[in-house]
Amino acid sequence: DAGITQSPRHKVTETGTPVTLRCHQTENHRYMYWYRQDPGHGLRLIHYSYGVKDTDKGEVSDGYSVSRSKTEDFLLTLESATSSQTSVYFCAIGLGAGNTIYFGEGSWLTVV
């Protein structure tokens, strides 16, 4: 158990509305990640963080922003949700040898 909590776990929202997903970790790990999972695409990195207020873009960052004001929380925001952002979002932490990635349970987001 990597001590990662994602909220909400399930959400349905309308096109054009803002959405924020929260990732909370309990053990002060430095590295945190947001991935999205889509059929036929596997997991793709959206954004990552290597410390408080230190974030960078991943492979599919367009339409997403992140913030990390505390070590334990990493927020993913969809400023104006689109149907193409319907997906399963996974938060992850990196720790230990090789910065091994450990995942949360996922957040299912449907944009209608």
Partner 1 sequence: AQSVTQPDIHITVSEGASLELRCNYSYGATPYLFWYVQSPGQGLQLLLKYFSGDTLVQGIKGFEAEFKRSQSSFNLRKPSVHWSDAAEYFCAVGASGGGADGLTFGKGTHLIIQP
Q: Which residues bind partner 1 (CB under 8 A)?
A: 31, 33, 35, 40-45, 48, 50, 56, 58, 90, 92, 94, 97-106
Q: Kindly state the smallest distance separating residue 105's Cβ from partner 1, in Å.
A: 5
Q: Kindly state the smallest distance separating residue 16's Cβ from partner 1, in Å.
A: 28
Distance, in Å, from the CA atom of 99 to the CA atom of 5, rounded to the nearest integer, reads 19
CB 107 within 8 A of CB 10: yes
Closer CB to partner 1, 41 or 70, in the complex: 41
Closer CB to partner 1, 63 or 94, in the complex: 94
H/E segment holding residue 55:
strand 54-57
Token pair recorded at residue 100:
């091994």
